[in-house]
A and B are shown apart, each in its own frame.
Chain A
Amino acid sequence: MATTRKLSLVAAGIAIAGVLIGFYIAGYLVGNTPAYRPQAAAANQKTVNLVIQTVAAVGPQLAPNHPDWVSYLVRNKQGEWQRSTVFTVPANSLVHVTIYNFDGASGLRNPFLGQPQGLVGPELVDGKPVKAFAPDQPSHTFAIPGLGVLVPVAPVGDDEKNQCGYAPCAMSMAHHVTEFTFRTGEKGHYRWQCFVPCAAGFEYGFGGPMQTVGYMDGYVNVV
């Protein structure tokens, strides 16, 4: 067998291996959601606004692989709802968060997490301040344990009309608005997550979307 033929076989092997390795690594990178950087309200102001919504099912349009999964969505600069949970916010500034929640109540595993913590000012639900939620009430939480921030999100009642099944949800559908502000402090990388066991069908309600970045988990990168 000629050496050139062997060499071309080896070269072909290396090429195939390279392609396979590329696909293999790409397999791990799939699902890495793009970072979203919310805008400051005004150029010289140290407050940024973050507008997000929670939906009971993300729907086939936003997540063809997991249309049934519960998810957070963020409103981008064009005013569209996109599925990103990696937020980049400036250090030593205030972040004003507005959450439109279209999902029902799930209840907490640890009732202690029903009280908002670590905020600047009160948590407002539909404009009214709330001190604590009963354990069966919260629909989700927006929590950044590294910053001490914890916000239970008010649910849509079972008896409310025009419920949203899956995203995209129209603003005319039943929802509640939760608003709060927190301070970012020093630079750092934090994770945020939901503490409400809202992943249906998974033991302790904590599998699937609760353990996947891009659904009920994400990063808050303070830069």
Chain B
Amino acid sequence: MTGEVALARPRSGWSRLIGFNLLTAVVLGIGGYYLGWFLGHHITGASVDYFGDTDQNDISVFLGYILGVIGFLVGLGFANYPFARLRGYPPSLREKESEGVGRYFGLCTDHKVVGMQYLCGIGLFFFIGGLNAMLIRFELLRPNMQAFPAGQYLTLVGIHGSMMMGMMTSGILGPFANYLVPLMIGARRMAFPRIEALTFWLLMAAGAILTTTIFFGGFPTGWTGYQPLMDQANAGMDSYIVFFALVGISMSLLGLNMLATIITMRAPGLTWSRLPIFCWGVVSTAILMLLAAPVLVAVLSMGMLDRTAQTTYFVVQGGGSPYLYENLFWVFGHPEVYILALPGFAIVLEIIPVFARKPLWGYRLAVAGLLGVSLLSWLVWQHHIFMSGIDSNLRPFYMLSTELISIPTGFTFICGLMTLWRGKIRYSVPLLFCLAWFFNFLIGGLSGVFLSDVPSDTTTHGSFFSMAHFHYTIMGGLVFTFFAAIYYWVPKMTGFQLNERLGKIHFWTMFLMFNSTFAPLFAIGFLDQPRRAVSYAPSLQFLNDWASVSAFALGISMLIFLYNFVWSLAFARVPAGANPWGSRSLEFQLPSPVPVHNFDRIPVIAGDIYDYGTPAPAPTAVPAPAGGAS
């Protein structure tokens, strides 16, 4: 820590509770909710016929949530800066960057603090989503368990899907890109530090709102929210709509911030052809986030109007069409799954050179692969609705465009494999997770070919096969690389090592149990079990039980990780040093933990960060930062 920075004297005791902080935010959030709820009841009352004899009032729920979120953000202090500017105070680029633990619990514009906030916040909701998965697999232990009421089972499925697809979209970009992109490109901050903090707190508000859906009766639609089921559903559906819209706003702002930062704030000498491949992954993902998420917000707004103002965007009898929803949703939804997958590609390509001690093989091909996936992912969305009957003559086109994606994806494979080829491989935990990516994504990608092929899709569509496919690509692709990134970068971020032995135990239980859970689901899907079905044919009980028991073991592997994380960082506290992996990347040339302002002098990049194997002394000419590099 750089103790030299002059700080305001911290207030002590209870007086610290007064002011713009998390407590105020929660109080104002709840207050805002009740204000909206009250206003909503006054707008419609119980007199409008449509609500005549139901006891739900969607307008008051929506108003409650929206005013609650506004109150939450105001309480955190997001309104202070705009008001200060209106009152004539001078502009500032950063604020609320005090030292101490308190900054992690409120609005802070230091990108490193936001990165850690993201890691813990997203981790929390990742575990809630995982808990839901455990409950789902518990219900499926018997063909007809009836442990949960049938409607609650659909809510479980819906929250699991929405939590994972919504919160984990920022799973890499939130914690790691926020923390690392400025360090990798030699910048002192992100382009828009306040927006950066806003994306995090919007996401937390969204996650909390989704969790409250169980108080409103849950929602029956799964994470896709198909119409007209959405129009029909309980008030719990409103939580889903507000949740996903907030996630969409957070995503597009995050993408905007990343693009602006990487385009405008690179250090001198860091040309596009020297940019770390992780940053290229962030660029390709951020493009998708920025452009796809607004479509989601738009389509959910239409759903909200259908549910409150009785518009008929999706009601056939009123001139609407469920196809409109399916199309708009998947125009967002397919880029969305690559928003999840692409950062995984980038992490694999970023980490492998460090542990193979070789330059990244085929840098330009790897970049082309990332950008190619990003581009092609816009042209494939109708493969999600091959069986829906919408303009079926387009199906050969979507079949072709979907299968074309395997070409740029193949670039990532060949670049990663050829980087390992003839390397001097060290089997550290981060590399193990990256190697698992090759296996998982291979299975996920090949099963995707079955789904993209219309004749095969006739059977596999909407079955457990497609469910197993996207768990192989998203859990096997994103979550494994998420853990690779944690084991690789958290020692840098915190300054303490994670236990290697526990990490390996975590890896092997997770890898084996992941495959043991999801491989049988391919068979279950081919054997006629549809997705999201609460009961199934008794003949499939053995395979389902196998998957369930493996899933519980997979859950235990996550607890091993949690134990390792808490034990290593809170109790063992073995210092990691500035560069525990011998990486040549710029972020590892800084001391651990990284000083508040990153670089005392902006570095000049003079070489290639992947220059392993050449006698060049340093890849980058980094002026010595304050505190001294170790």
Contacts and interface: CB of A to CB of B under 8 A. Distances in A.
A touching B, CB within 8 angstroms: yes
Interface of A: 3, 6, 10, 21, 24-25, 27-29, 31-33, 57, 65-69, 86, 189, 191, 199-204, 206-208, 211-214, 217, 219, 221
Given A25-B135, A203-B231, A211-B234, A31 B152 contact: yes
Contacts of B228: 203-204
Given A201-B54, A202-B54, A207-B232, A217 B150 contact: yes
5 nearest A-B residue pairs (beta carbon):
A201-B54, A189-B144, A203-B232, A27-B214, A213-B149
Contacts of A203: 228, 231-232, 315
A191 B153 CA distance: 15
Contacts of B52: 200-201
30 contacts: A24-B128, A24-B214, A25-B135, A28-B148, A28-B155, A29-B148, A31-B149, A31-B152, A32-B148, A32-B149, A32-B152, A67-B55, A68-B53, A68-B54, A189-B143, A189-B146, A201-B50, A201-B51, A201-B53, A201-B54, A201-B56, A202-B54, A207-B232, A207-B233, A207-B234, A208-B56, A211-B234, A212-B217, A213-B149, A213-B150
Contacts of B144: 189
A153 B143 CA distance: 31
B305 interface: no
A122 B131 CA distance: 49
Contacts of B566: 10
A105 to B, nearest CB: 16
Interface of A is mostly: mixed
Given A201-B52, A202-B232, A28 B571 contact: no
Contacts of A200: 52-54
User: Which of A57, A204, A211 lies at the interface centre, i.e. has the most chain B CB atoms within 10 A of its CB?
Assistant: A211
Given A201-B54, A203-B228, A21 B131 contact: yes
B535 interface: yes
Given A200-B54, A213-B150, 5 more contacts: A189-B143, A189-B535, A201-B54, A211-B220, A213-B151
A68 B55 contact: yes
B331 interface: no
Nearest to A214: B149
A191 B144 CA distance: 10
B100 to A, nearest CB: 14
Interface residues of B, number: 35
B149 A57 contact: no
B156 interface: yes
Contacts of B150: 191, 213, 217
Contacts of B53: 57, 68, 200-201
A219 B143 CA distance: 14
B54 A208 contact: yes
Interface in B281-301: none
B235 to A, nearest CB: 9
Interface string B197-240: 00000000000000100110100100000001001111000000
Nearest to B237: A207
Given A191-B150, A211-B220, A213-B150, A28 B54 contact: no
A63 to B, nearest CB: 10
Contacts of B131: 21, 24
Contacts of B55: 65-69
Nearest to B315: A203
A64 B56 CA distance: 13
Nearest to B128: A24
B18 interface: no
B570 interface: yes
Contacts of B156: 28
Contacts of A211: 151, 220, 232-234
A153 B269 CA distance: 80
B422 to A, nearest CB: 45
Nearest to B127: A17
A127 to B, nearest CB: 32
Contacts of A206: 232
Interface string B302-342: 00000000000001000000000000000000000000000
Nearest to A6: B570
A221 B415 CA distance: 57
Contacts of A189: 143-144, 146, 535
B310 to A, nearest CB: 10
B19 to A, nearest CB: 25
B319 to A, nearest CB: 15
B274 to A, nearest CB: 43
Contacts of B570: 6, 10
A199 B50 CA distance: 12
A212 B570 CA distance: 46
Interface in B133-153: 135, 143-144, 146, 148-152
Contacts of A68: 53-55
A216 B532 CA distance: 21
A121 B234 CA distance: 39
Given A21-B131, A201-B50, A208 B148 contact: no
Given A68-B55, A200-B53, A3 B146 contact: no
Given A189-B146, A201-B50, A211-B220, A6 B233 contact: no
Nearest to B143: A189
Nearest to A199: B54
B229 to A, nearest CB: 9
Nearest to B563: A10
Contacts of A191: 150
B271 to A, nearest CB: 46
A202 to B, nearest CB: 6
Nearest to A202: B232
B25 to A, nearest CB: 20
A21 B127 CA distance: 11
Given A189-B144, A219-B146, A212 B232 contact: no
Contacts of B50: 201
Contacts of A199: 54
A216 to B, nearest CB: 12
Contacts of B135: 25, 28
Nearest to A200: B53
B214 A28 contact: yes
Interface string B539-551: 0000000000000
A204 B229 CA distance: 10
Given A28-B148, A28-B214, A211-B220, A204 B571 contact: no
A24 B135 CA distance: 11
A202 B128 CA distance: 30
A200 to B, nearest CB: 5
A201 B55 CA distance: 9
A57 to B, nearest CB: 7
